[in-house]
Amino acid sequence: MVSVVITTYNRRAFLREAVLSALGQSYGDKEVIVVDDGSQDGSFDVVRDLPVRYEWKKNGGVSSARNFGMSLAEGHYLSFLDADDLWKREKLAVQLARMEAEGFAVSYTDEIWLRNGQWLNQKKRHRKYSGDIYEQCLPLCIISPSSAVIERRVFDEAGLFDESLPVCEDYDMWLRITSRYPALFVPLPLIVKRGGHADQLSRAYQAMDKYRIIALLKMLDSRVLNDLQRKSTRAELQRKCMIVAKGAQKRGKTEEAAYYFSFCQDPRSDLPLG
């Protein structure tokens, strides 16, 4: 019924606990697939005794790992768990019961955030919503992949994770999904997100709005948006271009700043990819 895809890359210290949190779900009808995206830290050794399907692949990034895991999955529902996150025992059971009772193909939950072991409060901009939430997803990614449960048919329509994006691939995916499907928010903290380690992708890339801009341009080119969604997407695109342009200007990158400033000033609905 549910395929759990756990992706990992050199996360030996976290992996076993994450896998156990998936195996320990009160919901029983599931398979657990671990996709190792080229780890060199002996990750397999910490889970070799556990009843999971473990697949090692050449490093290609988190999107390629999730896509590979989905290609192996047999479940009607797909769920994802990053190796540095944890699930509460009742996560799948609660989400699936709500989804089936209320007729949603997509759901996600609230979260507990830990940074270096310390509780971290979510800010107002991270507030989560139910229903047609495309506009709420435009400023930033409010859906954690580790919190989502999604019917397989959704990916048949929205497509797979974009392997060309080194970061913000989740932002890109949730825009594609929420432009097509309403999402159910389950207001219970059913996952624990553990951050603060030095090799997190969000720390490795500066100006992440550049990649969000790519996602927004893709949405404008997709022809799936209604008039309101298109207007909101264009406004958010101009806002993010202004942020990136000012950042480039501050760092003395005049050509890059001019490029993004030109996006801000162009009122057309179809902006060039560049």
Domain ranges of the chain: 2-197, 209-265
The pTM of the full predicted model, rounded to 2 decimals, is: 0.91
Q: 164, exposed or middle or buried, with CB in 10 Å at 0-12, 13-18, 19+?
A: exposed
Question: How far apart, in whole angstroms, are the C-alpha atoms of residue 160 and residue 6?
Answer: 16
The fold of 2-197 is: Spore Coat Polysaccharide Biosynthesis Protein SpsA; Chain A (3.90.550)
Q: List the chain pLDDT tens, one digit each, 274 residues.
A: 999 999 999 999 999 999 999 999 999 999 999 999 999 999 999 999 999 999 999 999 999 999 999 999 999 999 999 999 999 999 999 999 999 999 999 999 999 998 877 767 777 777 999 999 999 999 998 999 999 999 999 999 999 999 999 999 999 999 999 999 999 999 999 999 987 655 555 444 457 999 999 999 999 999 899 999 999 999 999 999 999 999 999 999 998 888 888 877 764 444 444 3
